[in-house]
Amino acid sequence: MMNIDESRATTVWLGLLALTLGSAWLGEGVFPPGLTAAVVALIVGVKGLLVIRHYMGLTEPGSRLRLAVRLYFVVVPALILVSAALGG
Amino acid sequence: MDLAANVAPVGAPAVPGNRGIWVGILCEMSEFALMFLAWAWFRHGHPEDFRAGPAMLNAGAGVANTAVMLTSGYFAVRALLAIRRDDAIAARNWLVAALLGGLTFLLIKALEFRWNIEHGVVGTGNSFVAMYYYLTFNHLVHVVWGCLGLIWAILRAQFGAYGAADHEGLEAAVLYWHATDLAWIVIFPLLYVLH
């Protein structure tokens, strides 16, 4: 019987796997490139923030470390969007 | 007792693991940030290579390795949760499972590289393929470091070094493993998904 922390970790893991399969499906070219890039950027951001919060345990409010690591998963998806917008 | 508070200045917020491992993690994330900028730069300069690139790769290997990394990260979380309830044997077993995940990642990557060679995906004359090897080889090196860290934590756990009150080293190894996972979360769509 899992406790609440173990159940949460398991739910997050299943969510991350589902998002990965979603990304793979997008790679089949079902959407136009711009929309694909937008959804991929969103998925990258969500997966990163899930790992940072639930796997790495960066939950301290006001922590500059948490801010810096979370910001990474705002900037990188933005880079994907800019790259797509520039027609790469 | 909050162990992170032992290594943080008085009044500073506690951090998981220790400050030393976070220096390493932030260095790794900065290194990969530069690689992602290089990916964007080359994608802008050679759009045809990058548009056709993902179709050249073995997408199944990319998906499998992503699932393996995430699952291995989950096992590492379970190791940390086990040691927090002072179950050192369960923690060691979860760490072994996480390590097996890392070794599976390396095996799949080796098979993927062999598949690449058989299908002519070699790093000459194509910016996308060069970037693919640049990113994946660098990440592979970090996976090896992470595996070595897990082996160290497994040995320490085996000899009773960790308990609910003292598991800073185990937590540091697990955090580094998650940082390697974070890098792959970005690398996977850049190489296998975005056309």
Q: Compare all CA atoms of chain A with the CA of B176 and give the residue at the minimum distance.
A: A56
Contact residues on chain B for A81, CB-CB shorter than 8 A: none
Q: Chain A within 8 Å of B16 (Cβ-Cβ)?
A: yes
Class of residue A75 by CB neighbours under 10 A (exposed 0-12, middle 13-18, buried 19+): exposed
Domain presence at residue B11: no
Q: Chain A within 8 Å of B90 (Cβ-Cβ)?
A: no
Is B88 in contact with B166 (CB distance < 8 Å)? no
Contact residues on chain A for B71, CB-CB shorter than 8 A: 13, 17
Cβ-defined contact of B70 to A16 (cutoff 8 Å): yes
Domain presence at residue B14: no
pTM of the model: 0.92
Domain presence at residue B16: no
Give helix B59-84 / helix B168-188 axis angle, nearest 10°. 160
H or E segment to which residue A77 belongs: helix A64-85
Domain presence at residue B57: yes
Domain coverage including residue B128: 23-193
Residue to test with chain A: of B58, B63, B70, B78, most A Cβ within 10 A:
B70
Q: Tell me the C-alpha distance between B188 and B136, whole Å.
A: 9
| Overall domain count for chain B | 1
Quote the pLDDT of residue B124. Answer: 77
Q: Tell me the C-alpha distance between A76 and B2, whole Å.
A: 32
Domain at B62, CATH number: 1.20.120.80
Domain presence at residue B8: no
The question of ipTM being above 0.90 is answered as: yes
Task: Give the gap in angstroms from C-alpha A69 to the nearest C-alpha of chain B.
Answer: 8
pLDDT > 60? residue B122: yes
Cβ-proximal residues to A64 (8 Å cutoff; 6+ apart), any chain: B13
Encode pLDDT of A25-82 as tens digits: 998 888 998 999 999 999 999 999 999 999 999 998 889 999 999 999 999 999 999 9
